[in-house]
């Protein structure tokens, strides 16, 4: 039973309670963790003429961009190593509880629709698209889960000749303990997730780079991107930038369809934690700030569920620093997963402006489609040549097509392992799916 936190009735004089209704009397008190921040954000308005609103909702379903750099601390193992160890070890399963949940052999085991197994060459993962996470499973478990779609647990035992009932029970108990699936009398009412990716927006995301003396026409870009319903921009400074400069660049998107602004800038005295938090408090669209070239400071601060601040000692001197592949940049969510099935997981519906003002698919790519000062973005975006790389899926990319991470990992077409083979894997990926390890 829920613990009563502090019913409203407690705040009333006994004689005043009769003037209230039951639901109000028994209403529970919910503290707001950071009231000052919450109220500051409430006062901020995010107008958008294209949507015809003077304050659009701070919606949680949007695409955010962050430049794919190395891990914050290169000496640390990639974040999935812990999960790997966990999966290899005997899962901490409350056998009795799991047993109690399983009614009988005629019941079915169903994975939650949002938990999708993806088979790789050496091992598989379950992508939990609701909680944005994943876990390793042996390939045989992915096979079992596929069989579970049409077979009861008893039929599953029979399929393996009743020789592996115990192992099957253990696997399923592990999946229940990790909340990837559940037992049910019939799987019928629980359809699989619709994996169609649908998108009405000509452009969903945009990268804009700033070199030593770049001047980007941000007001014009904001207007052009809004007409294409772009949702996310990343502004990347390959030099130090002050909090004031970042604030004024972000302010250029003050009336736009942009729901998420990511900032990357070289360290500056004004970019201490207070300075960055003030920046976040004054512009609700800013969701991520990364400060590079710090003198040894490596830290990730989670401000709230959708907002992060990151300090890295890595030096980001040009667009050539992008393209790192790491579990840090995995996106196990419905939108990214379904998009990766049919589109390129980096370039799809992206447009970029590099530090020299060239319109490109990505600043790291060679081909320029025109100068941002003279060429309208919409013209470039509509062209077949520009859209060609959008359609390269992970299932077409060599090596990646055998990798269990293929639908949650971002691609990179700018730096590929074999320049002679355009469909070769990202050059900066250190993962070997044939052996299931990071090299």
Partner 1 sequence: MILLLSGSGDANLDYVIEWLHHYDHPYQRINADDLLHDDFHLALAPPRLTVRQRVVDLDAVGAVWLRQFGNLRRSVYWQEAKRRVRPDALEQIAREHAVALGGLLAVLADKHWLTHPSRVHVNKLDMLQCAHKAGLVVPETHVVNRKRELAALRATGDFICKSLYEPLFLKDGSGFYAMYTTRIDAADDELISDDFTPSLVQRLIPKDYELRVFYLDGECYTMAIFSQQRARSALDFRNVDWTDPPRQVPYTLPPEVAARIRAFMTEIGLNCGSLDLVKSTDGRYYFLEVNPAGQFGMVAFPCNYPLYDKIALHLIRHDRA
The site for partner 1 (CB under 8 A) is made up of 1-2, 4, 7-11, 14-15, 17-32, 35, 43, 45, 48, 50-57, 59, 61, 112-114, 130-131, 179, 182, 188-196, 198, 200-201, 229, 257, 305, 334, 338
CA distances to 99, 155, 183, 256, 415 from 105, rounded to whole Å, are: 11, 8, 10, 56, 51
Smallest gap, in angstroms, from Cβ of residue 199 to partner 1? Answer: 9
Closest CB to partner 1 among residues 32, 100? 32
CA distance 302 to 32: 17
Smallest gap, in angstroms, from Cβ of residue 256 to partner 1? Answer: 12
Look at strands 286-292 and 307-311 and give their pairing. parallel
- Whether 426 contacts 415, CB under 8 Å: yes
Q: Crossing angle of helices 165-177/139-148, nearest 10°?
A: 90
Q: Which residue has the tokens 């407690």?
A: 10
Both tokens assigned to 116: 């999708």
Nearest to 121 by CA among 436, 429, 430, 358: 436
Closest CB to partner 1 among residues 27, 398? 27
Closest CB to partner 1 among residues 21, 374? 21
CA distance 148 to 141: 10
Closest CB to partner 1 among residues 69, 230? 230
Smallest gap, in angstroms, from Cβ of residue 222 to partner 1? Answer: 17
Provide CB contacts within 8 A for 74, sequence distance 6+.
Answer: none
Nearest to 258 by CA among 288, 286, 297: 286
Both tokens assigned to 23: 């639901």
Largest CA distance in the chain: 84
Smallest gap, in angstroms, from Cβ of residue 198 to partner 1? Answer: 6
Closest CB to partner 1 among residues 20, 121? 20
Closest CB to partner 1 among residues 303, 325? 303
- Whether 334 contacts 194, CB under 8 Å: no
Look at strands 359-360 and 350-353 and give their pairing. antiparallel
CA distance 150 to 207: 45
Look at strands 232-240 and 359-360 and give their pairing. unpaired
CA distance 278 to 235: 18
CA distance 229 to 225: 6
Nearest to 356 by CA among 212, 205, 203: 212
Smallest gap, in angstroms, from Cβ of residue 333 to partner 1? Answer: 9
Smallest gap, in angstroms, from Cβ of residue 400 to partner 1? Answer: 23
Nearest to 261 by CA among 229, 296, 289: 289
Smallest gap, in angstroms, from Cβ of residue 302 to partner 1? Answer: 10
Smallest gap, in angstroms, from Cβ of residue 30 to partner 1? Answer: 5
What residues are paired with 360 via a beta bridge? Answer: 352
Smallest gap, in angstroms, from Cβ of residue 58 to partner 1? Answer: 9
Closest CB to partner 1 among residues 314, 339? 339
Closest CB to partner 1 among residues 114, 427? 114
Closest CB to partner 1 among residues 24, 388? 24
Smallest gap, in angstroms, from Cβ of residue 377 to partner 1? Answer: 16
Closest CB to partner 1 among residues 164, 227? 227
- Whether 278 contacts 243, CB under 8 Å: yes
Closest CB to partner 1 among residues 61, 215? 61
- Whether 277 contacts 264, CB under 8 Å: no
């Amino acid at each position: 039973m829920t613990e009563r936190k502090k019913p409203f009735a407690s705040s009333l004089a006994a004689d005043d309670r009769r003037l209230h209704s039951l639901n109000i009397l028994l209403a529970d008190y919910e503290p707001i963790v950071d009231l000052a921040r919450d109220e500051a954000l409430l006062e901020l308005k995010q107008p958008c003429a294209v949507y015809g609103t003077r304050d659009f909702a701070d919606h949680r379903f949007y695409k955010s961009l962050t430049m794919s750099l190395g891990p914050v601390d290169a000496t640390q193992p990639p974040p999935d190593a812990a999960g790997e160890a966990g999966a290899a070890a005997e899962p901490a399963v409350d056998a009795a509880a799991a047993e109690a949940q399983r009614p009988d052999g005629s019941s079915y085991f169903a994975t939650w629709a949002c938990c999708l197994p993806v088979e790789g060459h050496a091992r598989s993962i379950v992508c939990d698209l609701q909680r944005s996470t994943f876990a390793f499973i042996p390939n045989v478990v992915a096979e079992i889960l596929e069989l579970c779609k049409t077979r009861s647990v008893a039929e599953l035992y029979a399929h393996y000749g009743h020789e592996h009932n115990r192992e099957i029970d253990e696997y399923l108990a592990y999946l229940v303990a990790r909340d990837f699936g559940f037992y049910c009398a019939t799987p019928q009412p629980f359809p699989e997730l619709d994996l169609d990716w649908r998108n009405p927006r000509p452009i969903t995301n945009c990268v804009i780079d700033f070199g030593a003396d770049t001047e980007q026409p941000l007001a014009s870009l904001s207007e052009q991107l809004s007409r294409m319903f772009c949702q996310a921009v990343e502004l990347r400074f390959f030099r130090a930038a002050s909090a004031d400069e970042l604030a004024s660049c972000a302010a250029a998107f003050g009336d736009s369809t942009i729901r998420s602004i990511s900032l990357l800038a070289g360290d500056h005295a004004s970019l201490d934690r207070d300075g960055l938090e003030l920046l976040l408090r004054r512009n609700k669209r800013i969701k991520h700030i990364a400060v590079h070239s710090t003198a040894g400071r490596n830290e990730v601060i989670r401000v709230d569920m959708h907002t992060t601040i990151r300090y890295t000692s890595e030096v980001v001197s040009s667009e050539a620093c992008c393209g790192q592949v790491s579990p840090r940049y995995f996106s196990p969510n419905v939108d990214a997963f379904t998009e990766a099935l049919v589109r390129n997981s980096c370039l799809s519906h992206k447009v970029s402006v590099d530090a020299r003002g060239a319109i490109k698919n990505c600043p790291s790519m060679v081909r320029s489609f025109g100068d941002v000062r003279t060429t309208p973005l919409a013209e470039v975006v509509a062209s077949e040549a520009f859209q060609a790389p959008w359609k390269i899926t992970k299932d077409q990319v060599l090596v990646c097509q055998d990798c269990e991470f293929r639908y949650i990992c971002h691609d990179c077409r700018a730096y590929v392992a074999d320049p002679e083979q355009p469909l070769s894997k990202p050059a900066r990926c250190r993962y070997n799916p044939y052996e299931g390890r990071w090299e």
